[in-house]
């Protein structure tokens, strides 16, 4: 009877130690301050069609995303008073060439819908 009780005590301590070591090694998840989701669609102002291959970025943080076939993008960035979003054509030959466009989000929210029309060169 004493042997079973000791075995359970040692087993419980071993399990508790393993959990403590796991937390010490990996820690708890940290908030990287990417609290604002900016998403939308990039289209051509000439045709109204979605444009793929446009680099959508936040220069201050380095966050970026390339639009897909449907012209859609989504990226996380820091929640600040104002955020500059840059739209730049990275594949000049695929869908034609487009002028670079910068826009400023002055009223930050947790989720911002930003649809953009780019002008062809």
Same domain? For 3 and 49 the reply is: no
What pLDDT was estimated at residue 115? 96
By residue range, what is the domain housing residue 106?
Answer: 36-118
What pLDDT was estimated at residue 94? 64
As a whole number of angstroms, the distance between CA 82 and CA 69 comes to: 29
What pLDDT was estimated at residue 1? 60
Strand partners, 101: 87
What pLDDT was estimated at residue 35? 81
Same domain? For 49 and 9 the reply is: no
For every one of its 121 residues, what pLDDT tens digit does the chain have, with 9 covering 90 and above?
677 778 887 877 777 777 666 666 665 555 556 688 899 999 999 999 999 999 999 998 888 999 999 999 999 888 888 899 999 998 766 666 899 999 998 887 888 999 999 999 8
Q: Write the CATH number for 58.
A: 2.60.40.1120
From residue 41, how far is each of 19, 67, 70, 105 by CA, in Å? 45, 8, 8, 16
Q: What share of the chain is helix, strand, coil (3-state, %, to 5)?
A: 20, 35, 40
3-state secondary structure of 100: coil
What pLDDT was estimated at residue 86? 96
Phi and psi, residue 70, nearest 5°: -90, 5
Q: Is the pTM of this model over 0.85?
A: no
The total number of structural domains in the chain stands at 2
Same domain? For 46 and 103 the reply is: yes
What pLDDT was estimated at residue 32? 58
Same domain? For 42 and 84 the reply is: yes
């Amino acid at each position: 009877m004493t042997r079973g009780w000791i075995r359970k005590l040692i087993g419980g301590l071993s399990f508790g130690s393993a959990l403590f070591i796991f937390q010490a090694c990996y820690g708890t998840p940290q908030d990287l301050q990417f609290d604002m989701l900016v998403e939308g669609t990039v289209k051509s102002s000439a045709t109204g069609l979605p444009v793929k291959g446009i680099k959508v970025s936040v220069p201050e943080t380095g966050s970026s995303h390339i639009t897909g076939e449907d012209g859609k993008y989504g990226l996380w960035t820091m929640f600040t008073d104002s955020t500059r979003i840059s739209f730049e054509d990275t594949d000049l030959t695929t869908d034609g060439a487009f002028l670079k466009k910068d826009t400023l989000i002055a009223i930050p929210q947790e989720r911002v819908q930003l649809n953009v029309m780019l002008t062809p060169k």
